[in-house]
Amino acid sequence: MKKVNTTKRLAMADEDRQKRSEMGNKLTYSKEETITATKQKQKKPNKKEILLANKDIRRWYDNHARSSLVSAEVRIRKLGKFCENNKITPMELVDLGQKSPRAVADLLEDTISTMEKNANAPQYIKGTIAAVKSWLEHFDIEIRRNLKVANPDATPTLSNERVPDATELAELFDRASPRAGTIMSLIAKAGLRPEVLGNFDASDGLVIQDLPELELVEKTARFTRVPTKILVRKTLSKGGHSYFTFVTEIGAKKILAYLNQRIGDGESIGNESPLIAPFAKYPRFRGKNKDRKFLSTARIEEEIRETMRPRFLWRPYVLRAFFDTQLLIAESRGKIAHDFRVFFMGHKGSIEAKYTTNKSLLATELANEMWQAFKRSQQFLDLEQNMQQGEETGSRQRVVTPAEAEQFLANGWKFLGTLQNGKVVIEK
């Protein structure tokens, strides 16, 4: 038998051992090659960064950011788009405004006409004009012309949007991961805005201690009372005031399941831990939010969209509209007071005034009544539970425009109330 030589390295038949590449042997690089490689790695500045390189634009942006970072981001984006469409720089626009305010007013009016022809939403047009006016006002340039936008309160992209019914709500939560289910519960069953869970730049959000009735015992999360209270700090509130709301029994179960999963995965959770946290196992691909412990508002909304699509084409905000609608129905049936519903939505009202005046404290009797009212109303929010029990609570309601409501009421439907956006809730 012929022996095989195992002491020599095997050479593949198609390998030319005499003509090997020197790529791996080159240990030094010329100065020109190093500069070229560095330039290729450098990230090109985006449109926002180019605009903010101007000290006047930076000063204007920072002034808006002091009250609302989101507002500042929206305005600089709209200003940049306006200037790009009209082939003019922001500083050239200022020069034009100082020389001839009428010429700028004409330009704005022409822009409105063009955007309306392009079927842009009225609110989008108004936002663009507001951004440009704000930029000019930064240089004490006032546009006095009364610029009109057709149908200013119309929301064409939302005209056919409706809140989910019991079957759709159950399906939506069945599709969700523990984190997505918790996010959706906090919006649909507690009325929180997405930015409360994690703000624009992921620098703040709800933490464990914002749920005072949540406790961690022997590495297990549990609530001492359900419905459970959620405190919203003024730094997270859109209205700039602190308030509280409650989350329903099903919502509380979603929260506990999510937190216990994180604990089981080895995460150490304390009072300052975020309620909604990035995946600890996957710290990469977070961009500017890499070292921040919260999720950004955009990522929170994207998580909801990923759960909804492609089955449901709703906006994430439809879940908060669901909370408002269902509590309005509960109010029409005498389950909850109007002022309580306004307070739980985070709007300013009589209860908010008392809460603020008394330094975030309410009389014990009033606080207990608010809890009892929410408990009576949670059957309208936990529709999937009612469906399993064979009930039909909330399944016969619809949200329509005032014009549509007249038609439905003429056909025997019952008026229940009006939402904050002007739409009407009716019942069959």
DSSP state, residue 24? G
Which of 14-18, 24-28, 206-210, 269-273 holds the top average pLDDT?
Answer: 206-210
pLDDT of residue 154: 76
Mapped onto helix, strand or coil, the DSSP state of residue 4 is: coil
pLDDT of residue 384: 77
**Percent of residues, the chain, with pLDDT higher than 70:** 81
Which of 94-98, 286-290, 392-396 holds the top average pLDDT?
Answer: 94-98
pLDDT of residue 383: 84
pLDDT of residue 98: 95
Averaged pLDDT of the chain: 84
CA gap 48, 127 in Å, rounded: 18
Closest among 375, 414, 394 to 167, alpha carbons compared: 394
Residue range 212-240: mean pLDDT, rounded: 92
Q: What is the token pair recorded at 166?
A: 């019991």
Q: What's the pTM value of the predicted model, to 2 decimals?
A: 0.76
pLDDT of residue 386: 58
**Residue 233: pLDDT band by 50, 70, 90 thresholds?**
very high
**Percent of residues, the chain, with pLDDT higher than 90:** 60
* Phi/psi of residue 400, nearest 5 degrees: -135, 170
Yes or no: say if 200 and 288 are a contact pair by the CB < 8 Å rule.
no
In tens, the pLDDT along 345-382 reads 999 888 887 787 777 788 889 999 999 999 999 999 99
In 10 A of CB 71, how many CB atoms? 15
In tens, the pLDDT along 74-128 reads 999 999 999 999 999 999 999 999 999 999 999 999 999 999 999 999 999 999 9
Yes or no: say if 181 and 308 are a contact pair by the CB < 8 Å rule.
no
Residue range 383-400: mean pLDDT, rounded: 58
DSSP run (H or E) holding 32: helix 31-41
In tens, the pLDDT along 250-272 reads 999 999 999 999 999 889 999 99
Residue range 263-285: mean pLDDT, rounded: 83
In tens, the pLDDT along 40-77 reads 556 678 889 999 999 999 999 999 999 888 899 999 99
CA gap 346, 325 in Å, rounded: 15
Residue range 399-412: mean pLDDT, rounded: 73
* Phi/psi of residue 214, nearest 5 degrees: -100, 130
Closest among 76, 77, 137, 128 to 107, alpha carbons compared: 128
DSSP calls for 275-306: SS---TT---S-GGGTT-SS--HHHHHHHHHH
Worst-scoring range by mean pLDDT, 129-138, 187-196, 327-336, 397-406? 397-406
The identity of residue 247, as a single letter, is V
**Residue 13: pLDDT band by 50, 70, 90 thresholds?**
very low
End-to-end CA separation in angstroms for the chain = 93
Worst-scoring range by mean pLDDT, 122-131, 162-171, 304-313, 382-391? 382-391
Helices (H) and strands (E) in the chain, counts: 18, 7
* Phi/psi of residue 25, nearest 5 degrees: -90, -10
**Residue 10: pLDDT band by 50, 70, 90 thresholds?**
very low
The identity of residue 223, as a single letter, is F
pLDDT of residue 110: 96
In tens, the pLDDT along 142-170 reads 999 999 999 887 777 666 678 888 889 99
pLDDT of residue 237: 92
Which alpha helices (DSSP H) does 121-222 contain, by range?
122-137, 166-175, 178-188, 194-197
